[in-house]
Amino acid sequence: MHHLHGFSVILGLNAKPMKQLFALILLSAFVFACSSDAEDAEFTGNEVEMEMIPGAVNGNQTNGTLLIKERKGGAAQVEITLNGVINNANHPVHLHFGSLADDGNIATLLNPIEERDGVGKSSTILNELENGSTISYSDLLTFDGSIKIHFEASGPMKDEILGSTNIGLNADQNSAYLSGEKSITICNSDY
């Protein structure tokens, strides 16, 4: 310590603030490393990403991605990123039974898309449907379903779709929607 103190004196610094600065740097590095490890520890590394089928409401064009990640314990975390949303947007997101063509009932509500820094984001840990049945990451990969982002929760534009995608058993149908061969014209807001 005397050596460090002598070095500090040569530089015209007090050893105590140097020790505090060093401790702060070490603590910051530890916290950063732990937060990265903590996030990694929550997930298994299994994930599926797909392109959202773009939507348009009143000239508002959107596009984005859906990411389904497996959490430790088997639950699915559903993350949606939607570009082209309006400022302060808050759009409901539904997981529906059936494909986009089926227009099935709502299986469960996901957390709404909320605009942050010009991008709409939603993240939901999903382990149960509205009917009480459980659903895991593995179940979601084989689920007969689709996800739709509605313009509003109620009102005249509640069935207008800002973005959507088929998931699970229906994911292979997305190419027809992405190429423009098919389009989504209606949405069912019933449970």
Do 148 and 65 share a domain, yes or no? yes
Do 32 and 80 share a domain, yes or no? no
Do 50 and 31 share a domain, yes or no? no
Q: What's the CATH number where 98 sits?
A: 2.60.40.200
| 3-state SS, one letter per residue, for 81-125 | EEECCCCCCEEEEEEEECCCCCCCCEEEEEEEEEEECCEEEEEEE
pLDDT of residue 151: 87
In a domain? residue 185: no
pLDDT of residue 153: 87
Do 49 and 32 share a domain, yes or no? no
Q: Please state, for a pLDDT cut of 90, what percent of the chain lies above it.
A: 53
In a domain? residue 114: yes
Q: Are 149 and 156 in contact (CB under 8 A)?
A: no
pLDDT of residue 35: 45
Most distant CA atoms of the chain, gap in Å: 78
Bridge partner residues of 59 (DSSP): none
pLDDT of residue 61: 85
Q: Please state, for a pLDDT cut of 70, what percent of the chain lies above it.
A: 75
pTM: 0.77
Greater model confidence, 182 or 37: 182
Q: What is the dihedral of CA 166, 169, 171, 177, to 10 degrees?
A: -60
The predicted-structure confidence for 120-176, as pLDDT tens digits, reads as follows 999 999 999 999 999 999 999 999 999 999 888 888 888 888 899 999 999 999 999
Residues in the chain: 191
Worst-scoring range by mean pLDDT, 66-70, 99-103, 136-140?
99-103
Do 6 and 90 share a domain, yes or no? no
Is residue 9 over pLDDT 50? no
Is residue 21 over pLDDT 50? no
Residue ranges making up the domain that contains 52: 43-178
pLDDT band with cut points at 50, 70 and 90 for residue 17: low
